Amino acid sequence: MITFLARIVFQLLAVYAVVLIAVYLAQRSLQYFPDKNYPGTPQDNGVPDMEIVELKTEDGLILNAWFAPPPKKDGQIVVLFHGNAGHIGHRAIKAQHFIDRGIGVLLLEYRGFGGNQGRPTEQGLYHDGRAALRFLEQKEYTVSQLIFYGESIGSGIAVQMALEIQPRYMILEAPFSSAADVAKRQYFFLPIDFLMKDRYDNIEKIADIKTNLLIVHGDEDFVIPIDLAERLFARANHPKEFITINGGHHNDLFDHHAGHIVNEWLEKQIAAETVVTPAE
């Protein structure tokens, strides 16, 4: 009987070990869901004010992105780091939301997404983020003009870039404390801390970032549970604001007026920073 049980235990452990090896080797295909198809032109996607631009990464890739400059040279620019699935064409409505309000937009497309060469990895996407910032620097825009907008996994890129250059404003839509924390919810039966390569440890970085922060999250988000965003918010510096969207899921926050919420928040921050000089 003991021998039979020992054999069963051994077989189960062997199967579990095979699962661990398979997950470790295939983890990036389980983590990233790029739409590799070319999205068409900005005009095809309803953002006629944007143009296709090329970004050159530190590791030698050339990425297509979309850019609409601000109406005034000293105007604000949203650097939009989009979420995990799809491509930039699926974020055209968000870009147009800011363009309609007189704000420039750089809509970054990552390696392996939207017809771009390469494969997504954490460090690779950081290279892509730096290429976007370098593009704006070469256009002679300043850090003080930039608004970082990080959506889902894009929050990881936005947080890393904010750690490096400290923008004035950062907006995170459906962010997480870390990608490892998200994975632990989905793969609770696996030792994620030992397996996971691309961790996007936002919570380890956020306390070193000095920016005006807004986090927007749906209370019915089952992809990234809201408590992971709340943990991130708790570690962030002031000034900060957390807005819960009742009934909001992971991909429908703009359907729940998140765009108007973001716009009102930005207007409030800008108004608070405006120095009014009394009339003489």
* pLDDT greater than 50 at residue 38: yes
Residue 77: which CATH number?
3.40.50.1820
Residue 87 falls inside a structural domain: yes
Residue 278 falls inside a structural domain: no
pLDDT digits (tens, 9 = 90+) for 117-172: 999 999 999 999 999 999 999 999 999 999 999 999 999 999 999 999 999 999 99
Q: How confident is the model at residue 93 (pLDDT cuts 50, 70, 90)?
A: very high
Among 162, 63, 77, which residue's Cα sits nearest to residue 109? 63
Greater model confidence, 49 or 7: 49
- The helix or strand, by DSSP H or E, that contains position 84, with its residue range, turns out to be none
pLDDT digits (tens, 9 = 90+) for 188-198: 999 999 999 99
Identify the DSSP state of 239. Answer: S
Residue 118 falls inside a structural domain: yes
pLDDT digits (tens, 9 = 90+) for 229-267: 999 999 999 999 999 999 999 999 999 999 999 999 999
Number of domains in the chain: 1
Residue 20 falls inside a structural domain: yes
Measured distance CA(265)–CA(203) in Å, rounded: 23
| pLDDT of the residue at 223 | 96
* pTM for the predicted model, two decimal places: 0.93
- Domain region containing 115: 2-272
Residue 232 falls inside a structural domain: yes
pLDDT digits (tens, 9 = 90+) for 66-79: 999 999 999 999 99
| pLDDT of the residue at 1 | 60
Residue 279 falls inside a structural domain: no
The structure tokens 């000089």 sit at 277
Residue 280 falls inside a structural domain: no
